Structure 1
């Protein structure tokens, strides 16, 4: 019983009822002024033309979201589109929706008026009176037991209200819902959002991971050295690396706060000296060779190349410590070659530490390049090739 009565405690049940009534108000006014057949024919023709207006889809979509779904931003709101019609298919579905809403609204309005009249007729005839001739069901005779039937019309009306509301909501989701083209566009937008989240997570992993690694290595070396001058240099390196990490963190958080904010200020390979100096300050003996015009490398390739170099140096510091490192960056006509090598005996990434290497391979793959990581001729090697076009 509670389940049957639950819909009548929800406001959306009555807003759906109102939505159907609103579709019939203006044709009904014409019905009282003009010939009924002419009034309904005119209403159908006008709705057919109205459905071809692109903005009508927006009006009906907003109204359906508010009155049929009960909330302006309901979790199902995406099932009803508020964008104007673009294709003739959208216009056709909007027209069909207007016709359907008018037909269902007429039926519900008729029953809403005549079922209470039927209840009144049952009471009047049970008391010996005459039924209203306008009632769609005429009650014959005068019988006392008609009083027992009086609850049936209100129950039927309640069922009509709930069922018609659910019916018109389902029809709205089909006819005012997104077209296949719009569904594909929404899917592509969702995919872009997921890719952006993955990229942001990777950015934080590389930037913050590098800063923390440098800070830990520098702090440990300063404590072991016991030299005030070395400690000052270590603290300076920690400060600089931490400041750069905070800048990256603030930039990423800005992107998260404002989804439409353009991504700018990301470091590129022209800023590679900062990474190399940070690694040297942490104790690594970096031998770097950068050849070719780094400033001509396309933005996406240069930014991802910087992150790959950052992650490679971070892995060296984290797993190998202060060891000789060879860095080779070469800009050719069609590709960017980046290689980082360190002695294999000094240390390799341990179990469960492969997220950074996986990130390197994913970055390269997204740009159509390739990455090789692993032992090579006694060294641990990260070799990445990225196409420039």
Structure 2
């Protein structure tokens, strides 16, 4: 540091201070310089690790000319403040020593001023230069940290990218929460209904069928749970495909095994429904049937699935024999509307001609769907 300060001072004396200023300015235009300065500032100024992005200091190369010019300004301010700090670090301790020598007698050169020696009270002034140096260093550290956050902080593009990444994470967590709610909730509802029906029936034959239905539903729920856990663990193992409308038979049989009479009407090429629509349609149908069993029990239920060239229609009807949750309340109905909205569709739930109806319409073509033509959706079984 002393060599640098002496060299800088010699350049100032010779009127050539523009040399380091110009060199630093040119280096600040290099995109990688912002990355280097950001990492150093994180480590040296914030007391946090250089990998910690919460410091408010970016550690990315310059993305545009605005980032470059801010880096140039940062380097010039750092040069000026560093030169001043180095100068004071050399001279203020020397001033304290000179004051101590002057207090013992004789005349001493003290910061460009010759003071008469022999005054004992000079001892009282000896600590002041050291205290002033410490205060300046602390204040300069706080100042340069503020400047670093202002000049090396995230640009508008970086903030937007971080916001988009955070949004993607929240959407993924919300999707996983819906998957767990629909799959596990459906399995538990089936198990509770089956167990209650078997207990009330008092028939060994019916109890065996109920246990088989509970086993099958529980096995499917465990598969869904394992798939979600693999995603959460970021495992490199292959993850099995999510169920689609092609697997509707299994879903309907699960509801029928609970004692409900489910009549299904399917029209159109279900296998040609695009993957995203088919997967979300399956979950919507699963949640609608789960709500029927949870709130109404094993009552007669009608399911209609209609596929045409550009739209999928799902409808579930069940009797209104008892009070139901108000429209818009509950995570199940909210999840149905959210799934439909994400695909550009709409969902309506509520009483209709003396029955409770869940009606969902989903477009088969759109900006969020693959291509402008339908492609077969993966799945097992058939409708």
The interval holding the TM-score normalised by the smaller chain is: 0.7 to 0.9
Unaligned runs of 5+ residues in structure 2 are 366-383
Partner SS, residue 83 of structure 1: coil
Aligned residue-pair number: 364
Residues of 2 paired with 1:161 and 1:346: CA distance?
Answer: 75
Aligned to 1:365: 341
* Cα drift, residue 65 of structure 1: 0.7
Residues of 2 paired with 1:46 and 1:52: CA distance?
Answer: 10
Aligned to 1:60: 37
Aligned to 1:140: 115
**Does residue 293 of the first structure (1) align with residue 269 of the second (2)?**
yes
Residues of 2 paired with 1:154 and 1:33: CA distance?
Answer: 25
String of CA shifts for 1:54-106, please: whole Å, max 9, x gaps. Answer: 11111111111111111116876351111111111111111111111111111
Residues of 2 paired with 1:154 and 1:259: CA distance?
Answer: 58
Aligned to 1:342: 318
Q: Structure 1 residues 357, 31: closer, same or farther in 2, change over 3 A?
A: closer
* Cα drift, residue 258 of structure 1: 2.7
* Cα drift, residue 31 of structure 1: 4.6
**Does residue 156 of the first structure (1) align with residue 132 of the second (2)?**
yes
The question of whether the paired residues in 2 share the 8 Å contact of 1:30 and 1:39 is answered with no
Aligned to 2:82: 105
- What's the Cα RMSD here? 2.6
The question of whether the paired residues in 1 share the 8 Å contact of 2:230 and 2:239 is answered with no
Partner SS, residue 301 of structure 2: strand
Q: Structure 1 residues 187, 376: closer, same or farther in 2, change over 3 A?
A: same
The 5-angstrom pairing of residues 42-61 of structure 1 reads 42-61=19-38
* Cα drift, residue 29 of structure 1: 7.0
Residues of 1 paired with 2:268 and 2:22: CA distance?
Answer: 71
Aligned to 2:300: 324
Unaligned runs of 5+ residues in structure 1 are 1-20
Partner SS, residue 345 of structure 1: coil
String of CA shifts for 1:158-215, please: whole Å, max 9, x gaps. Answer: 1111111111111111111111121122122222222222222222111111111011
Partner SS, residue 113 of structure 2: coil
**Does residue 236 of the first structure (1) align with residue 201 of the second (2)?**
no
Residues of 1 paired with 2:112 and 2:258: CA distance?
Answer: 93
Aligned to 1:118: 95
Aligned to 2:371: none
The 5-angstrom pairing of residues 1-389 of structure 1 reads 27-28=4-5, 30-31=7-8, 37=14, 40-72=17-49, 77-131=54-108, 133=109, 136-142=111-117, 143-258=119-234, 265-345=241-321, 348-349=324-325, 354-389=330-365
Instruction: Tell me which moved more, 351-360 or 276-285.
Output: 351-360
* Cα drift, residue 261 of structure 1: 9.9
The question of whether the paired residues in 1 share the 8 Å contact of 2:58 and 2:153 is answered with yes
String of CA shifts for 1:255-307, please: whole Å, max 9, x gaps. Answer: 23339999862222122222111111111111112222223222222221111
Aligned to 1:11: none
Partner SS, residue 314 of structure 2: strand
Greater helix fraction, Structure 1 or Structure 2: 1
Residues of 2 paired with 1:73 and 1:244: CA distance?
Answer: 45
